[in-house]
Chains A and B, each alone.
Chain A
Amino acid sequence: MKKGILLLLSSILLIALTACGTSGGNGNEEEAKVLKVATDAAYAPFEYLEGDQIVGFDIDIINAVAKEAGYEIDIVNTGWDPMLIEVEQGTSDIGVSAITITDERKQSYDFTSPYFLSNNKILVKEGSDITSSADLEGKVVAVQNATTGAIAVEGLLGENNSDIKKFDNNNLAILELLSGGAEAVVADDTVIEAYVENNPDQGLVVIEDADYFAAEYYGIMFPKDSEYREDFDNALKAIIENGTYSTIYKEWFGAEPNLDALNQ
Chain B
Amino acid sequence: MNFNLEIIWEYAPFFLKGTLLTIGLSFAGILFGTILGLFIGLGKISRNKLVAFPFQCYITFFRGTPLLVQIFLIHFGLVPALINETNPIFAGILALSLNAAAYIAEIFRAGIQSIDRGQMEAARSLGMNHIQAMRYIILPQAFKRMIPPLGNEFIILIKDSSLIAFIAAPEIMYWARAMQGKYFKAWEPYLTAALIYLVLTLTLSIILNRLERRLATE
Contact = CB atoms under 8 A, between A and B. Distances in A.
A20 to B, nearest CB: 10
A219 B85 CA distance: 38
A160 B178 contact: yes
A108 B184 contact: yes
A251 B174 CA distance: 37
B184 A146 contact: yes
A46 to B, nearest CB: 18
A81 B76 CA distance: 25
B94 to A, nearest CB: 15
B191 to A, nearest CB: 7
A9 B198 contact: yes
Given A2-B206, A142-B168, A181-B87, A14 B177 contact: no
B181 A150 contact: yes
Interface string A148-169: 0011000000011010011110
A180 B80 contact: yes
Nearest to A178: B76
B37 interface: no
Nearest to B202: A6
A199 interface: no
Nearest to B175: A160
A166 B168 contact: yes
Interface string A124-146: 00000000000000000010011
A145 B1 contact: no
Interface string B80-91: 100011111000
Given A179-B86, A180-B85, A166 B199 contact: no
A172 B191 contact: no
Interface in B74-109: 75-76, 80, 84-88
Interface size class of A (residues with CB under 8 A): 35 or more
A117 B139 CA distance: 66
Contacts of B84: 180
B195 interface: yes
Interface residues of B, number: 32
A39 interface: no
A176 interface: yes
Contacts of A104: 183-184
B166 A167 contact: yes
B187 interface: yes
Given A6-B199, A10-B198, A22-B1, A176 B181 contact: no
Given A18-B1, A179-B85, A180-B84, A167 B168 contact: yes
Interface in B1-29: 1, 14
Given A6-B202, A181-B85, A84 B184 contact: yes
Nearest to A159: B182
B185 interface: yes
Nearest to A2: B206
Contact of B185 (A9, A108, A172): A108
A85 B189 CA distance: 12
B186 interface: yes
Nearest to B189: A81
B184 A179 contact: no
24 contacts: A2-B206, A6-B202, A13-B194, A14-B191, A21-B1, A22-B1, A81-B186, A88-B184, A88-B186, A89-B1, A104-B184, A108-B184, A146-B181, A147-B181, A159-B182, A167-B166, A167-B167, A168-B166, A172-B166, A179-B85, A179-B86, A180-B85, A181-B80, A181-B85
Given A81-B186, A167-B166, 19 more contacts: A13-B194, A21-B1, A22-B1, A84-B184, A88-B184, A109-B184, A145-B177, A146-B180, A146-B182, A146-B184, A166-B178, A167-B167, A167-B168, A179-B75, A179-B80, A180-B85, A181-B87, A181-B88, A182-B86
